[in-house]
Amino acid sequence: MKQVIDPGSVIGVLGSGQLGRMFAVAARQMGYQVHVFSPDYDTPAGQVADLEIQSDYQDLDRVARFASSVDVVTFEFENIPVSTIETACQHVLVHPAGKVLYTTRNRLREKEFLRGIGLPVTPFAPVRSLADVEQAVEVTGLPAVLKTASWGYDGKGQSRVSTVEEVRRAWQALESQEAVLERLVEFAAEISVVAVRSSNGQCACYEPIRNVHRHHILDISSSPAELPLQTEAAAMDMAHAVMVGLDVIGVLCVEFFLTQDGSLLINELAPRPHNSGHLTVDAHVTSQFEQQVRAVCGFPPGSTARLQPAAMVNLMGDLWSHRRPAWSRVLDFPDVKLHLYGKRTARSGRKMGHLTALGRSAQEAIDVAGDARNLLIKAD
Ligand code: AMP
């Protein structure tokens, strides 16, 4: 199969949310055509793609036809069924490889992989039955967080637990799923490193991004993270080790907890562009989405240099609960960029868009982005 996919070729995307949308915009800007495949219609990615294919991921005939009609396949969502990826692989290059998804789609496998290559993770233990609870608590201590091993994102399928009885109840509420119990980390900060690796093995990392979550969902990201240089370098080295260890081709994000004593623990991996990297679109030489295009098409990474300090705030569906947000107020800010994902219905907890503010410092950008978001819902 062809390893270098030139502009003018067709990139297939499995999944059709906002990550696919921003990827499609970057790819089309570079002269590629984009075909999007997902079970939905009129999707954030489909709206800006050359072709939107609505099909179940398990319809392997449709998957085979889709894969045969494009030059390379990537995905924007890691919970694509294994059979879908395997079918696509029989017809076309798929980046990153199915084995990357296999490792990262299950928290236990992911943590075992990280520990296996010598990287620090939050103390954890599997909980596959009620009988595992006491032993798991011995490993993690209390309080802890119980998470589903699979299908968890944005805090879904997670609960904080303070007693053995609460762990039992939380596990039962998951309805007998495989779960992981983690120590609750009293972190000083959360950061992420967005990294990219191309097919010839060249890697590049953005400097760490500082993240603040609300109700387990990302709320604010800012860059620079303003951490000691040593900590930043250690986080980037770890991201590099993950890319090489997993043999990723594409973008990968590593989320870390920075503990009170200044050490780093890896919380999670995402083998794709990540919400915390959205600020690279407006604030860096190369966006994380262009990096994904470059990597999956066989080109080296672009520069990860930051042009200006920046902050991104997510716009959740809750902002729509009283009335239509007052967009003109945001657009009155000359240094704020509005990104909306084309979702037709706003729901509480649904990511509808984001704002990126540019400033002279990260703090200034955080303040401006926050002010702009607050004005969206302020009564006249
Ligand atoms: P996750 O889905 O694992 O990325 O979790 C979402 C967010 O929940 C994290 O970014 C943290 O803010 C919080 N969280 C998850 N796990 C832990 C933990 N073990 N200790 C403290 N906070 C956590």
Report how far ligand 1's centroid is from the alpha carbon of 178 (Å).
18
Whether 176 shows a pLDDT value over 70: the answer reads no
pLDDT value, residue 77: 86
Whether 376 shows a pLDDT value over 70: the answer reads yes
Average pLDDT for residues 307-330, to the nearest whole number?
93
CA distance 186 to 301: 35
CA distance 213 to 155: 10
Is the pTM higher than 0.95? yes
pLDDT value, residue 155: 61
Which residues form ligand 1's pocket by a CB distance below 6 Å? 122, 145, 152-153, 155, 182-185, 190, 213, 216, 255, 267-268
Average pLDDT for residues 78-91, to the nearest whole number?
92
Whether 1 shows a pLDDT value over 80: the answer reads no
Two tokens, residue 44: 């954030």
Report how far ligand 1's centroid is from the alpha carbon of 221 (Å).
15
Average pLDDT for residues 184-200, to the nearest whole number?
96
pLDDT band at residue 240 under the 50/70/90 scheme: very high
The b-or-e profile of 159-190 (16+ CB within 10 A means b, else e) is bebeeeebbbebbeebeeeebbbbbebebebb
Question: CB neighbours (10 Å) of residue 248?
Answer: 25
Q: Do residues 201 and 273 touch, judged by C-beta distance below 8 A?
A: no
Q: CA geometry: angle at 135 spanning 132 and 137, to 5°?
A: 105
Atom number in ligand 1 closest to CA 144: 19
Atom number in ligand 1 closest to CA 182: 19
Output the residue whose Cα is nearest ligand 1's atom 11. 216
Q: Which 8-state DSSP code applies to residue 132? A: G
pLDDT value, residue 8: 98
Helix%, strand%, coil% for the chain, nearest 5:
35, 30, 40
Strands 72-75 and 93-94: parallel
pLDDT in tens, 193-232: 999 999 989 999 999 999 999 988 999 999 999 999 999 9
Whether 169 shows a pLDDT value over 80: the answer reads yes
CA distance 20 to 184: 32
pLDDT value, residue 136: 97
Whether 2 shows a pLDDT value over 60: the answer reads no
- DSSP, collapsed to helix, strand or coil, labels residue 258 as strand
- DSSP, collapsed to helix, strand or coil, labels residue 205 as strand
Which residue would you say has higher pLDDT here, 322 or 270? Answer: 270
pLDDT band at residue 322 under the 50/70/90 scheme: confident
Output the residue whose Cα is nearest ligand 1's atom 9. 216
Strands 310-316 and 217-223: antiparallel
Please, what are the domains in the chain? 10-94 (3.40.50.20), 123-183 (3.30.1490.20), 187-376 (3.30.470.20)
- DSSP, collapsed to helix, strand or coil, labels residue 231 as helix
pLDDT value, residue 156: 67
Q: Do residues 63 and 38 touch, judged by C-beta distance below 8 A?
A: no
pLDDT in tens, 349-362: 999 999 999 999 99
Report how far ligand 1's centroid is from the alpha carbon of 216 (Å).
6
